Structure 1
């Protein structure tokens, strides 16, 4: 007599999952890559504005992290260029870009917190972008070294 088997649900392909949480995180990783590119471009624009016209941003009187606006411009320009490179690496699925992205996003939060009195809204937007990037890159459910599903 033939043995009855119960049907089983299909198994996901290796490296993939049917879990909606990991799908959200994988989509978040791609979104984080685009956000890093956008934040990098915004950083380059902030940097160029600070370097080219030293009077674009308001000067602060007694601020603890008071630098010359041109110095802040160079900081934002260099950070922006590196964020663009890391964002492009994330779009290609590079593991080095994921780890570097988390570190640079954390550094971006610190820099933009220090930049807060100069342009509060722009700094808060950059901080929010960086916090989402950190969350998305740390919560991706795929295996290390593979592209998001």
Structure 2
């Protein structure tokens, strides 16, 4: 009968030391989830403002990417809900959630680039936060994910 070995134990019976988890990496994913939630809420609120009041954002006459304000509001509100849902999915600890959030953060940064003439300072802040979220999730490894969420390796 073969001897059963529990996880974290070698054949000699000695336990392997637990891998060291970098606090910055664990904090990075929690930071990314909350920042993406705030960015999603901002997109949804800004989109709702554009839908309810078509004069909320003034049209830019000489801007190459000038879109209809009402259509812009709907796009921004829908993407806000998607960004918020992606932020919630980060708490699952799955690799696919990190990849999806990184992709959505890149799309959010691109969307804010197109929104720059309407609110330049706030758009620049959101672009910087999106880039920081992408960096935080790229530095976040498989072992850190399981330490945060308590899932078995």
Fold in common (TM above 0.5): yes
Cα displacement (A) at 1:144: 8.7
Unaligned runs of 5+ in 1: 1-9
C-alpha distance in structure 2 between counterparts of 1:116 and 1:131, whole Å = 16
Instruction: Name structure 2 gaps, 5 residues minimum.
Output: 1-14
In 1, distance between residues paired with 2:91 and 2:147?
9
Evaluate the alpha carbon distance shift between residue 86 and residue 147 of structure 1 in structure 2; reply closer, same or farther with a 3 A threshold: farther
- Check if 1:51 corresponds to 2:51: yes
CA distance in structure 2 between the aligned counterparts of 1:55 and 1:48, rounded to whole angstroms:
12
Using the size of structure 2 for normalisation, the TM-score is 0.80
Give the corresponding residue for 2:29. 29
Query: Does the 8 A contact of 2:25 with 2:144 survive in 1?
Result: no
How many pairs align? 135
- Alignment partner, residue 130 of structure 1: 130
Q: What corresponds to 1:63 in structure 2? A: 63
Q: CA deviation at 1:95?
A: 2.4
Structure 2 CA distance for aligned equivalents of residues 96 and 74 of structure 1: 27
- Secondary structure of 2:146's counterpart equals coil
Tell me how far 1:145 sits from its aligned partner.
6.7
Q: Check whether the contact 1:108–1:127 (CA below 8 A) recurs between aligned residues.
A: yes
